[in-house]
Structures are given as C-alpha cells and as structure tokens.
Chain A
C-alpha cells in the first residue's frame, strides 16, 4: 500500500517549456487535489477533483490544467512554464468530500523554472 505517489521528485524547466506532473493513489479515494507550497504562504489549492470525471478550480488555477484520468490518477499540466511557478507541488487524496476526513499527501515535486 503505497498511499499517494508523485513523479517526478525534482524537475528543472526553462521558461515556456511544458510538463505534466503525475499523481496516483491506491486507497480507492474519490477526491484528489493539487497544491503548491511557497515559503511563508502555506499550501494553496490549485485544482481539485471531487470524483472521477469532475474537476474544479481552486485558489490559484491560472497557468495550470488538470486531468482526472481515472479514479486512481490525477495529473497537473503546465503548458508554458513561468518563473512564478517555481514551487513545491503536492498531490493529495481524500476518501470523499466529507468534512471529517483528512487528506493524504504525496511526497511532493520540487519544480524550478529558469
């Protein structure tokens, strides 16, 4: 039982390049989330998926797209990377959109955009 896995762990991009961050969970969770973590700002929600086939914008969606490929996988795409997207990205999952359930987090992807 691996929990939430993310690939890659580290990535360096040049401005304007594109890439996709991969996330998978093996806990049969319905809801999945993408966050970015920046110094002094905690974690901010980029996009989330309440269930397979649905996605919604979070607090900071500009410059990103997501795909809920199936129940297990939720990917985050940067179409044209910018230096402002340098951050640590975390994927998370939760059993369902119910208030008492915690979210389970992956180990993160550290992205640098030059």
Chain B
C-alpha cells in the first residue's frame, strides 16, 4: 500500500538556520504530494503542494520539489524563524483508481523547534 516516511524528529534549530525535513514515499503511479503544518493547539493547514513530477511547491519561504526518480518531496527553508516552530507532515493522495483514491496518507510528522 501507499506509505510516507519522514525524517525522525524532533528538529531543533537556531533562528536563521537552514531547514531540511526529508520525506520519501511509496505509491503506485504519480500521486499528488503535500506538506501540512500544525501549530500548537491547532488543526492542520496546507503549507504547499505538488501534483506532478518536477513541480516545485512554495509558500511562506518553504519549498519542496516533487522528485519521482528518488520518490522524494523534501521540505526546505533558507532561514527559519521562531514562528516556524510547529509539526510538519508530509502526505500523499494517489491518482484515480483503486480503493485508496481520494484519501490522504500521512507521514508520522516532524516536530520543529526554533530558538531565538
């Protein structure tokens, strides 16, 4: 079945440091890929998405590129801020067909803490 694997956390960085959170996936065909963010005490918000190979999603200084050859969708930010402290989830939705059509499969989440 489909699966998403994220790098183990928690990740602790100083403000203005470079961030990478690794995400790899297993799926049939060409899924759509997402990064969601969860701030403390809140629900999940879509951070960015990519729907086909080589697409780059970007938002709020975060970027991720859909790499089909390595089945990866790593999240990066050049300079993190304290306000970026949150839990980040990588997720996929398969293309049409099969029993999992339309469902989101999540990674386990990565806790990011940014210190001043």
**Which residues of A approach B to under 8 Å, CB–CB?**
4, 31, 33, 40-45, 48, 50, 58, 90, 92, 94, 97-100, 102-108
Contacts and interface: CB of A to CB of B under 8 A. Distances in A.
A94 B43 contact: no
A66 to B, nearest CB: 15
A33 B93 CA distance: 14
Contacts of A98: 96, 102
Given A40-B108, A48-B102, A90 B89 contact: no
A35 to B, nearest CB: 8
Nearest to A6: B43
Contacts of A99: 31-32, 51, 93-96, 101-102
Contacts of B4: 42
22 contacts: A33-B103, A33-B104, A40-B108, A41-B108, A42-B4, A42-B108, A42-B109, A43-B44, A43-B89, A58-B103, A90-B43, A94-B102, A97-B102, A99-B51, A99-B93, A100-B32, A100-B51, A102-B46, A103-B46, A104-B46, A105-B44, A108-B42
